[in-house]
Amino acid sequence: MSAEHEVIDLDEHDHRPADSDGTVPDRLVSRRTMNVRLVAALVIGVVLGGAGASELRVSRDERERNASVVLVALPEDSVSGDSGTEVLGVIQLDGQLAVINAGPAPITVGAAAGQRPGIQVRDTGQSKLLRPGGTGWIDVKVRIECSSSTAFESEPLSIRSSVETADRRIREVNYPVAVKGGAWDRAAEMPCAYLSYAGKRGG
């Protein structure tokens, strides 16, 4: 009967993995933890990289926006002045330039000047702060030679202006101003006709 106690029950199974010392499960857990950490680090890196790139893009766009200048200018109808001198055939007008900030950021328009044979324009030393889409008026002195054929030619007059942008930098900007048929052309017509008539009578 003692042999019954030595019989091996073949239905009993050891459910542990082949490596009975238990090191395989620990290795698997360690490997899985490492994989999870690597994936997490990769995801965090992608997120941070994307956020950094987005921030750089926003910063770059803001710098470009603050540095951009788009001006539109035209002579205003408000003009006054004297009738000039008979000897020189020159008239002086007090005029205005309407300046429109067509850019995306506020700007300050300072000195403005332009000239070509027959006409000279210069500002009176004032500056104007213009918000985006805003319009300001710059007082200017206009000198016109009545005998010149190029003063009011069809080509626009290039006005050079100093502009302080939102990033506090000063930039030189050139913008065209149409003068033919405009306020200065109309204001000069009668005084120049008078000077021409007076000159003929004097001759």
pLDDT digit string (tens) for 129-186? 999 989 999 999 999 998 888 888 888 999 999 999 888 888 898 989 998 888 889 8
Closest C-alpha to 183, from 128, 134, 119, 127: 119
What is the model's pLDDT at position 59?
Answer: 58
Summarize pLDDT for 20-42 with one digit per residue, the tens. 554 455 565 566 676 666 666 66
What is the model's pLDDT at position 188?
Answer: 87
Closest C-alpha to 180, from 142, 139, 150, 145: 150
What is the model's pLDDT at position 26?
Answer: 59
Q: Assess contact for 89 and 200: CB atoms under 8 A.
A: no
Other Cβ atoms within 10 Å of 155 Cβ, number: 12
Amino acid (one-letter) located at 3: A
